[in-house]
Structure 1
Amino acid sequence: MSHPAWDWKLSDLAEVPKHGRTVFSCFSCGGGSTMGYKLAGYTMLGNVEIDPQMMRIYRKNHNPLHPFLMPIQDFKALPNDQLPPELFDLDILDGSPPCSVFSLSGDREDKWGGEYSFREGQVVQRLDDLFFDFLDVAEKLKPRVIVAENVRGMMVGKARGFVSLVLSRFRELGYRPQLFLLNSATMGVPQKRERLFFVAAREDQALPPLQLEFNDPPVLYRDVRSGEGKPLNTSTKTYSRWKRKRPIDLSMGDVTEREKGKASDYNTIILKDQKVSNTLASSSWFLRSDEPCRISDMDSIRIQTFPSDYDFLDSDVSYVCGMSVPPLMMKRIAEQIHLQW
């Protein structure tokens, strides 16, 4: 009996037929997109990552040929003769520029143009500049295709002006950009994760428009549920709210809104067996609906379609998963790019 696509191991990659197309990944984090490209038969040439811990995890699991531990601004400033020649004959330049300033939560417009360290110990940066730094790398390397992933919030309200600037920059560089709003739940991923993908082909290739349409049946939480979760401390507010929840409640915020007229703790999600999981974010707290505990690490791994033998070293599993692109989501996109282009 064959395994479902979300149930896989890093060791399975040795069996994937290679077609010779190459990828280089920026803002690689734990390598979610890297694994997606590998599952689709691509050869990964290396990565750029600013976070030392994420780079340790990436190297441990992916053994990159050309890893660059540095801010993307430093990478783009490297003289061309200090870069591997194969990076200048690249099929895909991949990147997921950090996007928290475009998240739909909080006072996001107030954050634009501000400088933030998006994790303790990292360099303070203007996060809304990073997309253009990534496109500067594209200008330097001139790949055949550029793939960039970001949050749905970039398409909402004032942020659409930012998207227009990004599309204009793609065109200035000689690329034909396309925008795709995709939900991972339609792509075989056990999670409702809406993400915006910019896919751009270099003008000189005369390629047809890319078609990306997915309609896989949903994978429910009960399908991936596995192992014991971490029990809630019975003296906490979260535990008492969990005890008072009703069948219609989808988060602790629903409980507090009903009881106090104002939602708080809405990031603590109640996962139900018969539903598809919510988006797994780096700060997510997912609780099982039928027992007072957080979901298990294996639940997080499966919901994000990470391999079961992935080595997280000493990092929090849900944090690394939540910071990454689901490998199966990127695999489906990468397959279509290879098939159609």
Structure 2
Amino acid sequence: MSRPAWDWKLSDLVNVQQHGHTVFSCFACGGGSTMGYKRAGYRMLGNVEIDAQMMRIYRRNHNPPHPFLIPIQEFKGMPNSELPAELFDLDILDGSPPCSVFSTAGAREDKWGGEYAFREGQAVQQLDDLFFDFLDVADKLRPRVIMAENVKGMLIGKARGFVSLVLSRMRRMGYRPQLFLLNSATMGVPQKRERVFFIASRQDMSFPELRLEFNEPPILYRDVRSGIGSPITSGSKTLQRWYKKRPPDLNMGDVTGREEGKISNFNTILIKDQKVANTLASSSVFLRDDVPQHISDTDIIRMQTFPSDYDFMDADVQYVCGMSVPPVMMQRIAEQIYLQWFKAK
């Protein structure tokens, strides 16, 4: 009996049939997208990453031929003669520009146009400009396909104007963009993670319209649950609230709203055995619903479809996973791009 897609190891990649099409990744973080492409038979040429810790982890697990530990603004400004020639014959340029300013949590519009450090130790950047820095790289390298992933919040409210600007820029660059809202729970991932994907093909490639329809059966939390999670801190408000929860409660915001007359701690999620797990965010807290424990690191790795032999080195497992695209999610998309576009060409 074959193993489920979420149960795998990096060492399994040696058995994947290669078709030779190439990918280069920006904002690569832990390499969730990279692993998805590799599972789909692509050759990863390298990455651009600003975070030194993430780059160490990326190099340890993926051994990229051409890694660039620099801000994307510096990368796009490098002379073409200083870049590997194969980057100018690229099949897919992949990127997940940091998306916190488009999150539906908080007063997101107030953040637009401001400069922030994405996390402690990183350079301060204007985060909503990074998408256009990524498109500048695409215009420089001229890949056959541009793939950009971002949060569902881009399709809500005023952010839709930003989406229109992105699509217009892609068209001016000579690409035909398509926009997809996909849920990882329908793609063999044990997690409800909705993400927007901008997929654009270069006009001279004459590719047909890409069709992405996924209907895999849901994978419940009980299917991936493993080990004993760390206990909720004794005497803490979180533990007190956990004992006051009721069966319909989905997060601690439900508890505080009912018990304390205020909604807070909605990012403390109650994970239930009989349901698909919520989106694995790097900053959320995930508690088991039936015992006063956090979910285990193994749960996190499986929910995100990371390989069981991934070396997280000195980084927090939830941070690396939460900041990455689930490999199986990207694999499903990358397979269809190959089948519908590259193989059929």
TM-score by length of 2: 0.98
2:226 — aligned with what? 226
Deviation at 1:231, TM superposition (A): 0.7
For 2:214, the equivalent position in structure 1 comes to 214
Q: Which amino acid aligns with 2:30?
A: G
Q: In the TM superposition, what is the alpha-carbon distance from 1:273 to its structure 2 partner?
A: 0.2
Query: Which residue of structure 1 aligns with residue 327 of structure 2?
Result: 327
Separation in 1, partners of 2:261, 2:94: 44
For residues 103-126 of structure 1, give each alpha carbon's deviation from its aligned partner in whole angstroms, at most 9, with x where no partner exists: 000000000000010100101000
Return the alpha-carbon distance in structure 2 between the equivalents of residues 144 and 13 of structure 1.
Answer: 25
Q: Deviations over 1:242-277 (max 9, x none)?
A: 111111111111100001222111101000000000
Q: Does 1:305 pair with 2:309?
A: no
In structure 1, the residue matched to 2:294 is: 294
Q: Could you tell me which residue of structure 1 aligns to residue 77 of structure 2?
A: 77
**In the alignment, what sits opposite 1:53?**
53
**Superposition pairs of residues 1-341 of structure 1, within 5 angstroms:** 1-341=1-341
In structure 1, distance between residues paired with 2:206 and 2:262: 54
Distance of 2:132 and 2:310 partners within structure 1: 32
Q: For 1:157 and 1:307, locate their aligned partners in 2 and report how far apart those are by CA, in whole Å.
A: 36
Percent identity between the two aligned chains: 77
Letter in 2 for 1:106: G
User: Contact 1:174/1:203 (CA < 8 Å) preserved in 2?
Assistant: yes
Which digits, 9 at most, give the CA deviation of each residue in 1:262-300, with x for residues without a partner? Answer: 211110100000000000011121100111110000000
Q: Which runs of 4+ in 1 moved over 6 A?
A: none
One-letter identity of the residue aligned with 2:130: L
Cα displacement string for residues 118-165 of structure 1 (whole angstroms, at most 9, x for unaligned residues):
100101000000000000000000000000000010010100000000
The RMSD of aligned alpha carbons is 0.5
Once the two structures are superposed, residues 204-228 of structure 1 have per-residue CA deviations (whole angstroms, 9 ceiling, x without a partner) of 0111000001011000000000111
Per mean C-alpha deviation after superposition, the further-off stretch among 124-133 and 227-236 is: 227-236
Equivalent-residue separation in structure 2 for 1:327 and 1:250 (angstroms): 26
Aligned-partner SS, 1:336? helix
- Structure 1 residue 234 displacement after superposition: 1.3
Distance in 2, Cα, partners of 1:196 & 1:306: 20
Q: Distance in 2 between matches of 1:261 and 1:224?
A: 35
| Structure 1, gaps ≥5 residues long | none
CA distance in 2, matches of 1:161, 1:267: 27
TM-score (structure 1 length as normaliser): 1.00
Q: Counterparts of 2:290 and 2:165 in 1: how far apart (Å)?
A: 47
- Contact conserved, 1:26 with 1:47, CA < 8 A, in 2? yes
Q: Which amino acid aligns with 2:158?
A: K
Q: Distance in 2 between matches of 1:77 and 1:160?
A: 29
Report the alpha carbon displacement of residue 89 of structure 1 after superposing the two structures with TM. Answer: 0.2
Q: Distance in 1 between matches of 2:284 and 2:42?
A: 31
